[in-house]
């Protein structure tokens, strides 16, 4: 097993990439992602630390192709954060959420669940992640008025 971080995850295609400290990437399919023995089991979260076991048949790697993971295992239980959408530009597809932890998270339309359009001052629930070493809101659920 090798310690890596989730670098990219594409929910619609059910695959992603993990990356190590040296910048080496490993491809994984969601079927190889094991959430572990945790209460909450969201899909992979950007920046999340994971243990990766390589598929030895692809470990040597084809030219310009990342090796495949045989198993990707979550190493900690992700926790959700609630926050308030500070800004969102629907035309550009991004904005910011200020979490209850007083951290400002980048919000991208691709992370919003149920195709909802976030509006400033709406509450949202999300998993804190990292993208390019910056806070990123992942798997964002925009809450309706009065919803908890």
70 and 86 in one domain? no
- Does 95 share its domain with 66? no
Torsion of CA 17, 44, 99, 77, to 10 degrees: -130
Same domain? 138 vs 115: yes
Output the 3-class SS for the chain: CEEEEEEEEECCCCEEEEECCCCCEEEEEHHHEECCCCCCCCCCCCCCEEEEEECCCCCCCCCCCCCEEEEEEECCCCCCEEEEEEEEECCCCEEEEEECCCCEEEEEHHHEHHHCCCCCCCEEEEEEEEECCEEEEEEEEECCCCCC
C-alpha distance across the termini of the chain, in Å:
38
- Domain assignment present for 105: yes
Residues 13 and 70 reside in one and the same domain: yes
User: Which range of residues forms the domain containing residue 63?
Assistant: 2-74
The one-digit pLDDT tens for each residue of the chain (148 residues) are 799 999 999 888 899 999 999 999 999 999 898 876 656 678 899 999 999 999 877 666 555 678 999 999 999 888 999 999 999 999 999 999 999 999 999 999 999 998 888 999 999 999 999 998 999 999 999 998 766 5
pLDDT at 11: 82
Output the pLDDT for position 59.
61
């Amino acid at each position: 097993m090798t310690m890596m971080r989730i670098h990219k995850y594409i929910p619609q295609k059910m695959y992603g990439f993990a990356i190590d400290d040296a910048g080496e990437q490993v491809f994984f399919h969601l079927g190889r992602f094991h959430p572990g023995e945790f209460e909450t089991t969201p899909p992979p979260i950007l920046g999340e630390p994971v243990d990766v076991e390589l598929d030895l048949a692809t470990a040597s790697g084809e030219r310009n192709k990342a090796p495949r993971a045989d198993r990707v295992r979550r190493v900690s239980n992700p926790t959700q954060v609630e926050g308030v959408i500070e800004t969102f530009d629907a035309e550009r597809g991004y904005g910011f959420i200020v979490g209850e932890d007083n951290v400002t998270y980048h919000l991208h339309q691709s992370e919003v669940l149920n195709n909802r359009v976030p509006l400033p001052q709406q509450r949202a629930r999300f998993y804190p992640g990292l993208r390019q070493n910056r806070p990123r809101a992942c798997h964002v659920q925009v809450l309706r008025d009065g919803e908890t």
